[in-house]
Amino acid sequence: MDVFVNDNQADSGFTIGGTVEDALRHVQANLCAPGHVVVSVRCDGQGLSGEAMAAALQKPASSFERLDVFTDTKEALVSDAMGNALASLTETDAACRRVAELLTEGKTVEAAETLSDCLSIWQQIHVAVARSIEILRLDPEQIRVDGEPLTELIGKPREVLLQVKEALQARDHVLLADILQYEFQEVTGRWHDIATRLRDEAEDLKASRRP
């Protein structure tokens, strides 16, 4: 297998019997520039993510001819992730209002499909926020937004998501529509504040590293 890091060929330095995951660990430990982390991977020109990534990681490295690894700074990774989160929040805010309208109109099947997509995106945002805090090694008790610690801000959207889950389980479409129409504006607003603050933290750290 030929290994390329940011389009530059590198000595892989791992045994032929290792897995793709072993190769990536070696790249992260020995071939990344200081402060950089692996942000994306291609095997034989095929970009990997999600389940495809998980499956590829367990395959023998020898099953591929070329591994392309792309790295960036932790700060850039978080900044991009939070920028994507903010864009997703804008999209789901409109979708959330649409779900409430569909429920009011009695179109429960269409509403459930749209809501399922929104819930998936919100879960991804929650994971991205938690991961970003970990990557930047931030203390969520010390980071405050409008005077509130990050830990409390993160907890409040979770409470409303629990209300959504309970309304879904009870098939209380009137309650669900009310939650989505009135309470979720505050939730998306809080997530927006969290993502913006984390992006700002990342940008500040990135600026402090510049010579």
The pair of structure tokens assigned to 21 is 């995951």
Question: Measured at the alpha carbon of residue 158, what is the angle toward residues 197 and 139, in degrees to the nearest 5?
Answer: 40
Name the amino acid, one letter, at 16: I
Domain boundaries, the chain: 2-64, 76-209
- pTM of the shown model: 0.73
The pair of structure tokens assigned to 120 is 């998936």
The pair of structure tokens assigned to 19 is 């897995």
Give 61-99 pLDDT, tens digit per residue: 888 989 899 998 989 989 999 999 999 988 888 888 888
Give 146-169 pLDDT, tens digit per residue: 888 888 777 777 788 888 888 888
Q: Provide mean pLDDT across the span 156-183.
A: 83
The pLDDT assigned to 14 comes to 55
Other CB atoms within a 10 A radius of the CB of residue 103 amount to: 23
Q: Provide mean pLDDT across the span 18-39.
A: 86
Cβ atoms of 6 and 26 within 8 Å: the answer is no
Q: At what angle do helices 108-135 and 74-104 cross, to 10 degrees?
A: 160
DSSP state of 65: S
Question: Is the predicted pLDDT of residue 206 greater than 90, yes or no?
Answer: no
